[in-house]
Structure 1
Amino acid sequence: MYKFLIRPLLFLLDPEKVHHLSFTLIKLTSKIGFAAVFRSLYQVNDKRLERELFGIKFKNPVGLAAGFDKDARLYNELSNFGFGFIEIGTVTPKPQSGNPKKRLFRLKADKAIINRMGFNNLGVFEAVENLKKKHNVIIGGNIGKNKITPNHLATKDYLICFEALFDYVDYFVVNVSSPNTPGLRELQDKEPLTALLTDLKRENNRKAQKMAVSEKPILLKIAPDLTNDQLLDIIEIVKETGISGIIATNTTIARDNLMSDSVLAEEKGGLSGKPLANKSTEVIRFLSEKSNKAFPIIGVGGIHSAEDALEKLDAGADLIQLWTGFVYEGPALVKRINKAILNQS
């Protein structure tokens, strides 16, 4: 129904307007009694799907990636579609409007999306207010820096977000890999990245001791465009800083072998969807093999089918996330993936 009726209608409209419209429709239909219907249609409840990583028990290994519910406004409703975890953000200390519109583009021939949103969000403290609602789904908090913050002061922004969200999320994701904030990817270099993660780990330990609670897992989200040498650096950084794992990968700046109109395909921003599938899978495989599976990996990028998901898991991912695949394939994709995982167990 989604692919043959709902998606064609939604794809007639501007992608960013559709995103806001979808939020309204999901919230409205959930309020008028469809939440139970969504759960019956899309959730797969089976103990064999459970995964325990960095001290957290996930109901199933299929999550929703950051960027969909930036301000933590819809996580309860989205969990009805069968996700085992929801990642909110990327949030920044201060609200920011992001890059000028138009900044979101569908490449339908490639089952892809280009975005140059630029961390548009209402600020971390708005997300905190939204996260105070009762919820029964694992929540990840994806944190970044404001565009106006220079890189040498970036750590302060990440610490502000970390401090604000500590009581309200189950794990953290450090986003230094978006291509849409000028200079942000420079923080992936070994020296600044090690310093940033070390400071976050130190604050994590301080807060945990002060509050007599466990430290929150910290993961690093990396770009798919890193060289093998840079990926080896990432492995060393994980070991040195003691963070909990990696999310591989963010969007790509590459534009290889696209079938869409050349003008559209050359829009600036990060490319997600099917063209990213192989590249992100190879990054997962490289990290898993070269580290001897020393840390958990959440695989994301180009998952549009159960087969795509199984490829990520076979390559070394412990959990997976959807975003563009969710947009193109609809919520039934979550169920198909969980069913396929069960069939392999």
Structure 2
Amino acid sequence: MNRLSSRHKIRSLLLVTAGGFGFYGAMDYVKNKESFYQRLIPIIHVLEPETAHKLAVFAGKYRLYPKSSFSDPDSLKVKLFGKEFPNPIGIAAGFDKHGEAILGLQDLGFGFVEIGSVTLFPQAGNEKPRVFRLKKDEAVINRYGFNSDGSQVVFQRLESLKSNHKLDSILGINLGKNKDSQNAIHDYVEGIEKFGPIADYLVINISSPNTPGLRDMQIKSNLIALLSEVVKARNNLPFKNKPSLLLKLAPDLTKEEQIDIADVVKLEKCKVDGLIICNTTIDRPDYLKSEEKSEIGGLSGKPLKDISTQMISNMFILTGGMPIIGVGGISSGQDAYEKIKAGARIVQIYTALVYEGPIIVDKIKRELSALLEKDGYKCVDEAVGKEVL
């Protein structure tokens, strides 16, 4: 059994290495040509989804992606959380779980980078296979289960980047709880104290469907208990420029649950600085065509687009315009624009990278800039919430 396991590992390593050389050599040759990515993606999809994910992180870690040549126009700059974002397009948590690929993601032209989810202690996550492409639906189902190197390892990695003055991006750190934790609030408080000195914003992720009982923390009484402690922990950090604190929500909340959450985050002791809407969904729309739709886990990608946008609109109204990071199903400038007009100040992508490659970052920025100009907006802020105001 061990022999077979070793052979499998060696075979996988050779496959990834060979694929890496071919992949990055070709990328260096053709740079950002869209036709190249259209040919490349089907080749990458021959690999198992998690192997392809590791390859993409490897490329980011060693800065093998061609650097974006797109110059962000002033219209895409956003002032938020006391920072100026060069553009409103970020990478969502889940891609760079351990803070390894930040420099490569900077090179792709993201306006900000969110890593994680990071748990207090290292954990392996759920059993494999745990990632599935739904190619016919341009979607992904994952049940990773917060696989994490743990807070200490990730902190040291980030501290090294900062000390070497390599970390230029606005950095968000998404915090999760360990699966076997007996005190989830303690996990989040410890995460805030650990990463507070190094993060521009911190995310309290209680919306992943892949950790048993996690979403129960969105229930009103549980949420009050959690947020009152994490807000206190953030406020008690012993330095002036404290990170902003955000709450990431599930898309499967009822309207009544959304109202409850809006009421909680308006309480002084529970007042976070913003919301991330939304995480993956456990819902399976009837129109899904891919055989993999029956897999357990969170669904992301195009099927989540309208669900996410509607929830952004709901929470923007219910909270009286609280800052929102919109995520879910964005694969074009139009998709990003719809979320901004629904109430999002900035947005994030992830699954679209699986189907279109890294060239999509510049594509979305170009298209969004053109849409803002067409509608007479000088900046992103002018368009925020225009569909609901």
Aligned ranges for residues 157-176 of structure 1 at < 5 Å? 157-176=187-206
Q: 2:265 touches 2:271 (CA, 8 Å); kept in 1?
A: yes
Contact 1:68 1:88 in 2 (8 A): yes
Q: Which sits farther off after the overlay, 305-314 or 335-344?
A: 335-344
SS in structure 1 of the partner of residue 46 of structure 2: coil
1:26-65 aligned at under 5 Å gives the runs 26-28=60-62, 30=63, 37-40=66-69, 43-65=70-92
Q: Deviations over 1:55-100 (max 9, x none)?
A: 1211110000000001101101111111000001000010000000
* Corresponding residue for residue 47 of structure 2: 13
1:149 paired residue number: 181
Q: How far off its partner does 1:301 sit?
A: 0.3
Whether the aligned pair in 1 keeps the contact of 2:38 and 2:356 (CA below 8 Å) is no
Is 1:284–2:316 an aligned residue pair? Answer: no
Map 1:1-345 → 2, pairs under 5 A: 1-28=35-62, 30=63, 37-40=66-69, 43-132=70-159, 133=161, 134-150=166-182, 153-207=183-237, 210-211=238-239, 213-240=240-267, 241-262=270-291, 264-293=292-321, 295-343=322-370, 344=372, 345=377
Percent identical among aligned pairs is: 42
Displacement after TM superposition at 1:175 (Å): 0.3
Taking only aligned residues, the RMSD between alpha carbons, in angstroms, comes to: 1.4
Q: CA deviation at 1:2?
A: 4.8
Contact 1:306-1:333 at 8 Å conserved across structures: no
- SS at 2:186 equivalent: helix
Checking the alignment, whether the CA contact within 8 Å between 1:140 and 1:172 is kept in structure 2 is yes
Distance 1:27 1:3 in 2: 20
The amino acid of 2:339's aligned partner reads: K
Distance 1:2 1:245, change over 3 A: farther
Q: In 1, are the aligned partners of 2:61 and 2:103 still within 8 Å (CA)? A: no
Q: Secondary structure at the match of 1:67?
A: coil
Alpha-carbon contact 1:147-1:181 (below 8 Å) kept: yes
- 3-state SS, counterpart of residue 219 of structure 1: strand
115-124 vs 195-204, which moves further: 195-204
Q: Distance in 1 between matches of 2:36 and 2:147?
A: 28
Give deviations 1:191-224, integer Å, cap 9, x for gaps: 11111111111111111xx33x133210000000
Distance 1:226 1:136, change over 3 A: same
> Residue 72 of structure 2 aligns to a residue in which SS?
coil
| CA spacing shift, 1:20–1:199, aligned 2, 3 Å | same
Q: Which of the two has higher C-alpha Rg?
A: 2
* Partner Cα distance (1:141, 1:24) in 2: 20
The amino acid of 2:38's aligned partner reads F
CA distance in 2, matches of 1:44, 1:2: 22
How many positions carry a matched residue from both structures? Answer: 331
- Measure, in 2, the Cα distance between the counterparts of 1:253 and 1:304: 21
Q: Matches of 2:78 and 2:352 in 1, distance apart?
A: 22
Instruction: Give the whole-Å Cα distance in 2 for the aligned partners of 1:158 and 1:202.
Output: 12
Secondary structure of 1:38's counterpart equals coil
Quote the Cα distance in structure 2 between the aligned partners of 1:52 and 1:167.
Answer: 21
8 Å Cα contact 2:329/2:351 also seen in 1? yes
TM-score between the two structures when normalised by the length of structure 2 = 0.82
SS in 1 for 2:187: helix
8 Å contact from structure 2 (residues 58, 101) kept in 1: no
- Structure 2 residue matching 1:292: 3-state secondary structure: coil
State the one-letter code of the partner of 2:193: E
Contact 1:258 1:265 in 2 (8 A): no
CA-CA distance at 1:160 after TM superposition: 1.2
Q: Give yes or no for contact 1:62–1:83 (8 Å, CA) kept in 2.
A: yes
Partner Cα distance (2:59, 2:318) in 1: 45
Stretches of structure 1 lacking an aligned partner (at least 5 in a row):
none
Q: Deviations over 1:133-192 (max 9, x none)?
A: 131000001001000013xx1111111111111111100010000000001000111111
**Contact 1:299-1:320 at 8 Å conserved across structures:** yes
TM-score (norm 1): 0.93
One-letter code of the match for 1:246? L
